[in-house]
Structure 1
Amino acid sequence: MLTENNDIYDEVRDSRNFTGKVVLVTGSSSGIGEQTVKLFSALGARVVVTGRNASHVETVVQEVQQLSPKKLKPLGVVADLTKNADIERLFNETIKTFNRLDVLVNNAGAVIFGNGTEKDFLDILDKSSRVDVKASLQLIRLSVPYLQKTNGSITNIGATISERPIKSMLPYNLAKTSLTTISNVLAIELGPQGIRVNTLSVGVVLKPGIPDEVIKKCAKYTPLGRIGQPIDIAKGVVFLASSDAEFITGHNLVIDGGLKYNMDSDYLNVDNNVD
């Protein structure tokens, strides 16, 4: 006969406490990445803020520190993930500062348009995959020895475009589909080492400069009636890194308000009627 174990419920109650954990989120000086490091910091984690713009990185570092319950100062690293030396420096500074790693979130990426028949398509494809695929893989490979010690986790930020192809976005589609495949294969390879690997796929998420037409169209076609917010994605990342997800690996968590079910191959053409 099974009996209730209070420790199980206590663990769930405490599942969003990341005190003592170290979290590295790429592309964390703006957008989804920024909101993700802020949420992890608010939950007690020590975080790494990184991006290409030094002033943006410093601003987020200051804001993140104010959100930390113990006012822990995050590590800020200016890095260009298209450069191997910068990737290694980012990782080495993380380990030098904190001497551990619990959570790696490969969030940095670029939405790049291009048709498969364009003359310079292969160059466009290389640019698209350099951060999403190559940089993510390089950081994963560097992280494994440390994630083994902490039974850590990896979350790769994918996109619903992998399931619902959109015309003129073949480079982005290939990059995000590859990243999802990386999660699936490494979940099998790294699971026996105590490391979980998942994908979190997003639809359209609000960010500075996004056209009003896109926001309006998203609200119309998303079953939940609005465009995605960075905090929606951050909450999902935190869940996948939490003890509540300790038996979840190789999974693709879609957070898009149901938008993918109403997307067609011409969805991002905002000239379509959105009234």
Structure 2
Amino acid sequence: MMNKLTQDMQGKVCVVTGAARGLGRAISERLAGAGAKRVYVCDINLAPAHAWLEQYPNITGVELDVCDPAALAQLSARIVADHGRVDVLVNNAGITRDALLDKMTASDWDLVLNVNLKGVFLVTQAMYSLMKVQMQGAIVTISSIVGTDGNIGQSNYAASKGGVIAMTKGWAKEFARGGAQIRANCIAPGFINTEMTRAVPEKVLEKMTARIPLGRLGEPRDIAEGVLFLASDRARYITGQVLKIDGGLVL
């Protein structure tokens, strides 16, 4: 008999942004492996995903700019035509352009806020239009401990990640009106072993790791498991929350 936990997404249609690699890939693979009917893997550049996408018959790659309303309308129409519904949205797309405040340019501020905050707003707006018809769904947005606790040299990133937390709390109230079972939650990762983290100089990485009570970086699958839980019916009474997955870094 198949383990029930491997079928948390049985029959569900999922959308994951920023999904070609890193956290997005881990999340997409976990949802697909948990029995999703279809996972739309969305990224502005799908090239890094071509090899692994072929391993999953229930995954569809979609080139998508999260800041393009026309492209989002096309995606919504495609999902309706293919499946008539969307059950899970994972807002993962995000970028960084770090600098100390007196060195940060207005263009770097605008770019990060546009992708990380406006992009989440636009994607959620498009997918919510489908969820509200069926009166149910789960939205999980990837924030950051930088969005809850700040960090030096990341004013733009902190503002964007704090902003998605604020939007999520508002959505949790708004989307549940009229008895709808549409939930919205955030995950705030700490230091995770991704390509971005591996590019950090070794000495800096050692200092980062030393601050983590569990004594190691997190793995993408740690975030993916949190997403799976919040997206599943096991979390059916959880909404408007921020789940920190950081090895105890921020207590």
TM-score (norm 2): 0.88
User: What is the match of residue 202 of structure 1?
Assistant: 189
Q: Is the 8 A contact 1:159 1:202 kept in 2?
A: yes
Per the TM alignment, residue 16 of structure 1 is displaced from its structure 2 partner at its CA by: 4.6
Q: Which runs of 5+ in 1 are unaligned?
A: 1-11, 66-71, 262-275
Secondary structure of 2:250's partner?
A: helix
> Are 1:17 and 2:4 matched, yes or no?
no
Stretch of structure 1 that moved more, 76-85 or 163-172:
76-85
Q: Is the 8 A contact 2:142 2:186 kept in 1?
A: yes
| Aligned counterpart for 1:88 among listed residues 66, 73, 77 | 73
User: What is the match of residue 48 of structure 2?
Assistant: 56
Q: Which amino acid aligns with 1:240?
A: L
Per the TM alignment, residue 210 of structure 1 is displaced from its structure 2 partner at its CA by: 2.7
> Are 1:188 and 2:180 matched, yes or no?
no
1:34-88 deviations in whole A, cap 9, x for unaligned?
Answer: 000101111110201121223223223213x1xxxxxx33211112224333333
User: What is the match of residue 155 of structure 2?
Assistant: 170
Structure 1 residues 134 and 216: alpha-carbon distance in aligned structure 2, compared to 1, 3 A threshold: same
Identity fraction in percent:
29
User: What is the match of residue 74 of structure 1?
Assistant: 59
Per the TM alignment, residue 170 of structure 1 is displaced from its structure 2 partner at its CA by: 0.2
Per the TM alignment, residue 259 of structure 1 is displaced from its structure 2 partner at its CA by: 1.4
Alpha-carbon distance in structure 2 between the residues aligned to 1:257 and 1:119: 30
Per the TM alignment, residue 134 of structure 1 is displaced from its structure 2 partner at its CA by: 1.1
1:146-201 deviations in whole A, cap 9, x for unaligned?
Answer: 22316111011101012222121100000000000000011011122221000110
> Are 1:126 and 2:110 matched, yes or no?
yes
CA RMSD, 1 decimal: 2.1
| Aligned counterpart for 2:233 among listed residues 230, 243, 255 | 243
Q: Which amino acid aligns with 2:186?
A: T
> Are 1:139 and 2:123 matched, yes or no?
yes
Q: Is the 8 A contact 2:87 2:137 kept in 1?
A: yes
Structure 1 residues 214 and 52: alpha-carbon distance in aligned structure 2, compared to 1, 3 A threshold: farther
Q: Which amino acid aligns with 1:145?
A: S
User: What is the match of residue 30 of structure 1?
Assistant: 21
Q: Is the 8 A contact 2:22 2:194 kept in 1?
A: yes
User: What is the match of residue 223 of structure 1?
Assistant: 213
Q: Is the 8 A contact 1:49 1:75 kept in 2?
A: yes
Secondary structure of 1:59's partner?
A: helix
Alpha-carbon distance in structure 2 between the residues aligned to 1:135 and 1:92: 18
Secondary structure of 1:104's partner?
A: strand
Whichever of the two has the greater Rg, that structure is 1
Per the TM alignment, residue 97 of structure 1 is displaced from its structure 2 partner at its CA by: 2.7
Secondary structure of 2:210's partner?
A: helix
Alpha-carbon distance in structure 1 between the residues aligned to 2:239 and 2:86: 18
